[in-house]
Amino acid sequence: MRHNSLKEKLRNGETVYGCFIRYPNASLVEVLGYCGWDFIVFDGEHGTIEPADCEQMVRAAELQGVTPIVRVPVNQPHVILRFLDTGAHGLHVPMVKSPEDAEAVVRSVKYQPRGSRGLAAVRASDYAQRVPLREYVAQANAETLVAVHIETGDSVDRLPEILGVEGLDVAFLGPTDLSNSLGFPGELQNPKVQATFQRFVDAVSASRVALGLMVPNAEAARQWRARGARYIAVGFENVLNPACRNYLKSAREYPTYSRTVHLY
């Protein structure tokens, strides 16, 4: 397993920026890699990405020096195992509602003695060609990033207990799902939703775990960074759509003056 530069940045107190993509396309990952992201999350929950796709996407991210992370669809050991065996440097797990859920995540990610992840000579271990499996196990336990999604009111109620589970790196706020669980779907500015967000911020800020979340744009990223977020992600569509619309708007404006056109 390669060194996880993303975990190192978080340990050093840095703020990191990533992009979620839900499309099973390694070339897209490679192109995004040129943009300077700290990490890219391959969304296997709300996308169509399967382990075979993930393996190729991990290779593409590593080619550009971007940390590859995967979001699994469910908190189940055999699912987590298959995605991590592709060589992903960490994972997001949705709907973690209790310390028992968080403990199950960590045990599925970590090898013995902390966890119960199955060991094999797969891509994650460089097919056991570089170092002995004993050395790989120790490295993977230290390097693999664990992010749990806090997406319900019940999760926030139990957040201090969840954050006490050994082995968590990021508590990731799911704003839309959380607003839905509170009875205000998509109403992120609702006072009750905002009050719950603040409870999340207060609990995570008092812990050793990094505060993470998904934002819609750069302005929201700056606002959340001011509130203590250090693991900030945006959806690929939220970056693509404004760029496309701004381009088309500008391109369709009829020029009022002549100028030299440079094709390249």
**What residues pair up with 231 in beta bridges, in sequence order?**
16, 212
* Rama region for 259: left / alpha / beta (φ>0; ψ in -120 to 50; rest): beta
Q: Do the domain assignments include residue 127? A: yes
Confidence (pLDDT) at 228: 97
Q: Do the domain assignments include residue 67? A: yes
What is the token pair recorded at 15? 């703020």
Confidence (pLDDT) at 258: 57
Q: Do the domain assignments include residue 50? A: yes
pLDDT digits (tens, 9 = 90+) for 126-164: 999 999 999 999 999 999 999 999 999 999 999 999 999
Q: Do the domain assignments include residue 261? A: no
Q: Do the domain assignments include residue 166? A: yes
Confidence (pLDDT) at 254: 77
Q: What is the mean pLDDT of each run of 10 residues along the chain (264 residues)?
A: 91 97 97 97 96 98 96 98 98 97 98 97 95 96 97 97 98 96 96 97 97 97 97 97 95 73 60
Q: Do the domain assignments include residue 259? A: no
Question: Which range of residues forms the domain containing residue 157?
Answer: 5-252
Asked if residues 172 and 195 have their Cβ atoms less than 8 Å apart, the reply is no
pLDDT digits (tens, 9 = 90+) for 91-122: 999 999 999 999 999 999 999 999 999 999 99
Q: Is 3 labeled as catalytic in the residue annotation?
A: no
Confidence (pLDDT) at 260: 62
Residue bearing tokens 């999340």: 200
Q: Do the domain assignments include residue 91? A: yes
Confidence (pLDDT) at 194: 96
CATH number at 213 reads 3.20.20.60
Tally of domains in the chain:
1
**Cα(151)–Cα(177) distance, integer angstroms:** 5
Q: Do the domain assignments include residue 152? A: yes
Which of 46, 78, 149, 262 is the catalytic position? Answer: 46
